[in-house]
Amino acid sequence: MKPIIDLKNLCKSYGSHIAVDKLNLQIERGEIFGLLGPNGAGKTTSILMMLGLTEPDSGSAIVCGHDASRDPIEVKRKVGYMPDNLGFYPQLTGLENLLYIARLNAMPEKGIAEYARGMMELVGLGAASDKPASTYSRGMKQRLGLAEVLIKAPELIILDEPTLGIDPAGVKEFLELIKSLQREQGLTVLLSSHHLHHVQQVCDRVGIFVEGKLLATGDLPTLSSELFASTGIEILIQLTRLPKDADALKSNFSGWPEINSMNVNGDRLQFNTTGEITPKLIRRIIELGEDIRAVSQKQYGLDEIYEKYFENNTNITLDNESIKRKPLFGNRRK
């Protein structure tokens, strides 16, 4: 099946500033794809080119089977776009705002009110349908924006910074809603964000976008293994007590080709390895007469992936979360 978004060598400059530099990207139907990058990376410019709202200098953007530059009306018919700056008529209710958009999309009058009410329910605004949009919280406004995008039953929705300014509980609910739309309606979603954790929670694949260039795409395990292949895997094994003879224990692993380094620190054994050899290590340690309390492996999240790309770039702000350790099992006694 052809990708729903197919970008080839897409370029756009503003004067001498290159906003998007040879962007190649394919997004499959049914995917949630996150375009991740700091402010000014070129995310919005790329989205505008996909929608035919700005002309690329070169390259092509085929979206839902149509060339966005040559056939922007067809693209707009099939794609729902939620910009980062949403605007509503504040004096109208949420439902009235939605009806207004439905009519702008030339929806037939028959059944339109029921359909719009159903859409308000779907996005979790059923109880607030008849309240003025001016009374909506930022999170409710994002939901109303989503309802406006969904009302025309698009094949693809593009959301520019959809979680901007929403509180953490609102973000979680909004992302769960996106995920359920994908699951239940098979919707394809492209969302842009500079919030790593938001993207991490919901996206099947992400693209890391910096200074107009897409540096990498993939799911998190793929990005992680590509990036950290040279760094190795860190495995931590905690014993139930201090080893009987730390040096003797260490010497047992000295000839293993998969082990880059090993440290014995009290009751903790730290291994840096070239591959996933945790079961093999556990078996050997038990054979040597030691008991294991817990095993964990360093897990790389988007923070570390992001940092790895931008470690020399001090202008990039990262959400602060330290490297997580994923327990493989804990408190096990033999």
Ligand X SMILES: Nc1ncnc2c1ncn2[C@@H]1O[C@H](COP(=O)(O)OP(=O)(O)OP(=O)(O)O)[C@@H](O)[C@H]1O
Of 14 and 106, nearer to ligand X (C-beta) is: 14
Question: Please, what is the minimum distance in Å from the beta carbon of residue 224 to ligand X?
Answer: 23
Of 44 and 182, nearer to ligand X (C-beta) is: 44
185 binding ligand X? (CB under 6 A): no
Binding string, 15-34, against ligand X, x = CB under 6 A? --x-x---------------
Is residue 94 within 8 A of residue 35, CB to CB? The reply is no
Give Cβ neighbours of residue 193 (< 8 Å, ≥ 6 apart). Answer: 34, 35, 36, 161, 162, 163, 199
135 binding ligand X? (CB under 6 A): no
Of 40 and 132, nearer to ligand X (C-beta) is: 40
Of 163 and 296, nearer to ligand X (C-beta) is: 163
Q: What is the largest CA-CA distance in the chain?
A: 82
Binding string, 31-60, against ligand X, x = CB under 6 A? ------x-xxxxxxx---------------
Rounded to a whole number of angstroms, the CA Rg of the chain reads 25
* Distance between CA atoms of residues 210 and 216, nearest Å: 10
Of 42 and 52, nearer to ligand X (C-beta) is: 42
93 binding ligand X? (CB under 6 A): no
315 binding ligand X? (CB under 6 A): no
Question: Please, what is the minimum distance in Å from the beta carbon of residue 197 to ligand X?
Answer: 17
Q: Say which residue the tokens 């109880």 belong to.
A: 127
- Among 19, 24, 20, residue whose Cα is nearest residue 9: 24
DSSP letter at 161 equals S
Of 53 and 246, nearer to ligand X (C-beta) is: 53
Question: Please, what is the minimum distance in Å from the beta carbon of residue 9 to ligand X?
Answer: 17
Q: Binding-site residue total for ligand X (CB under 6 A)?
A: 11
Q: Say which residue the tokens 């349908």 belong to.
A: 129
Question: Please, what is the minimum distance in Å from the beta carbon of residue 157 to ligand X?
Answer: 17
Question: Please, what is the minimum distance in Å from the beta carbon of residue 187 to ligand X?
Answer: 22
CB atoms within 10 A of CB 222: 12
* Distance between CA atoms of residues 89 and 96, nearest Å: 9
What is the 3-state composition of the chain as percent helix, strand, coil, each rounded to the nearest 5? Answer: 35, 30, 35
* Distance between CA atoms of residues 165 and 321, nearest Å: 20
Stretch that binds ligand X, among 11-19, 258-266, 297-305, 315-323 (CB under 6 A): 11-19
What stretches of 86-204 adopt beta strand conformation (E)?
156-160, 188-193
DSSP letter at 132 equals B
Question: Please, what is the minimum distance in Å from the beta carbon of residue 48 to ligand X?
Answer: 8
Of 43 and 66, nearer to ligand X (C-beta) is: 43
Question: Please, what is the minimum distance in Å from the beta carbon of residue 330 to ligand X?
Answer: 41
Under the rule (CB under 6 A), what is the footprint of ligand X? 14, 17, 19, 37, 39-45
